[in-house]
Amino acid sequence: EPNFDSSYVLDFGDTLELQLIGQKNSIENLLIKRDGSINIPEIGKIFVSGLTLDTVNKLIKAKISTSFIGIEAFITLVNIRDIQVLITGNAFNPGIYTLNGNSNVLHALSMAGGIDANGSYRAIDLIREDKVIDSIDLYDIFIYGKSGFGERLRSGDVILVRPYLKLVNISGAVKRPGRFELKNDETFLDLLEYGNGLADNANLSTLRIERAQDESIVYIKLKDVDDLANFEVLSSDKLNIRGFDRRT
């Protein structure tokens, strides 16, 4: 299960534990009710739904300090609500899933078996109340190592995995040959970056694009690396860069 932190947003179904230590010692479990409130004995109702765990922690401590003398409060989140989300589009196992209330899009996709062969890793939409509130590009995470995983999910959210955009191959004298998905505004230069750049033995005079055209393969020779940024990319293109023989 995903770990929660102080930025976790509380809602109906979460349970807090309030421990009082000092002139009065007690432990209370406080369930967040449908109206978004908790009820603290001798203090009353406090609305916490929609607030972060850190904010609620400070709010409760402030209430305790003004209501009692010589008592310290400790607040812990002891139970996390369940949510239901719909995963649709090009996921391996689309459907409705029950998840931990601290889950994000990556957690949901893993429950659905990931993205199928026709799905996009670059265009995964989080839809809430019929509006796209976030669109996730997994290359930001897998290739560039960015830590943002999108918003935490809420009950009723829809995760739409769209079809892939342009699948393009890079082969030959590059550090990471393979097939990558390019967005419509990306070029062969971006493809080269996803391939981790040129290998040490790359022969730049052999730059060429292999393209399926009229039931045959045509070979388009490029002058230099700068041409990679100016040449239109079509899905199923292949960028090939030959290498010098390392033995010579």
Number of CB atoms found within 10 A of residue 177's CB: 17
Number of CB atoms found within 10 A of residue 38's CB: 24
Highest mean pLDDT among 4-13, 17-26, 159-168: 159-168
Tell me the pTM. 0.80
The per-residue pLDDT for range 217-242, each reduced to its tens digit, is 999 998 888 889 988 899 999 999 99
Average pLDDT value for residue range 179-203: 94
Q: Report d(CA 44, CA 127) in Å as an integer.
A: 36
Contact 231, 222 (CB under 8 A): yes
For the sheet containing 178-182, what is the strand order? 178-182, 166-172, 238-241, 208-213, 216-221
Q: Report d(CA 166, CA 120) in Å as an integer.
A: 9
The per-residue pLDDT for range 18-68, each reduced to its tens digit, is 999 988 899 999 999 999 999 998 899 999 999 999 999 999 999 999 888
